[in-house]
Amino acid sequence: MKVALGNDHRGYQAKEIIRDVIRQLGHEVIDCGTDNPGACDYPDYAYLAAKEVSEQRADRGILVCATGIGMSMAANKLRGVRAALCHDELSAQISRDHNDSNVLCLPGDQVSAMMLGKIVETWLNTPFSGGRHLRRVQKIAEIEQGRDPRAGVQ
């Protein structure tokens, strides 16, 4: 699996940890983040990594800023991106299992290195369950197209 990894300055240290976890799990990293801890703007890096997912050059993406909130907001503006902000293993698992999230957003300042690794591993290893959840993900795509989700997907 190819994973686009993006970060701003506040996610720089976390990115180093996450990159190692991704590689240890046998996946390829596409590094779209800043390569130093100097101040920068998170939307720039959210865009670069989420675009890799949106344009299907990466299977998934992981974004890190101070809280993960800004990265999530920016990434979700790209077509086909379902970015989820997760703070623990359960939210990471559910975001994949129920919502087929394809971008994981993480708080670089609020989660320990050990927890970052657990969240990333859980998220990368959890498949989408489909079933009744597929209809809901399709409704998200309808909204993305500017359509009322109540009208078309059954």
Radius of gyration of the chain measured on its C-alpha atoms: 15
State the DSSP string of 50-114: HHHHHTTSSSEEEEEESSSHHHHHHHTTSTT--EEE-SSHHHHHHHHHTT---EEEEETTTS-HH
The answer to whether residue 65 is catalytic is yes
- What is the rounded CA–CA span in Å between residue 16 and residue 62? 12
- What is the rounded CA–CA span in Å between residue 72 and residue 64? 9
The answer to whether residue 87 is catalytic is no
Neighbours of 31 (CB within 10 A): 15
- What is the rounded CA–CA span in Å between residue 65 and residue 125? 23
Catalytic residue among 9, 32, 65, 86: 65
Catalytic residue among 27, 40, 87, 98: 98
Catalytic residue set: 65, 98
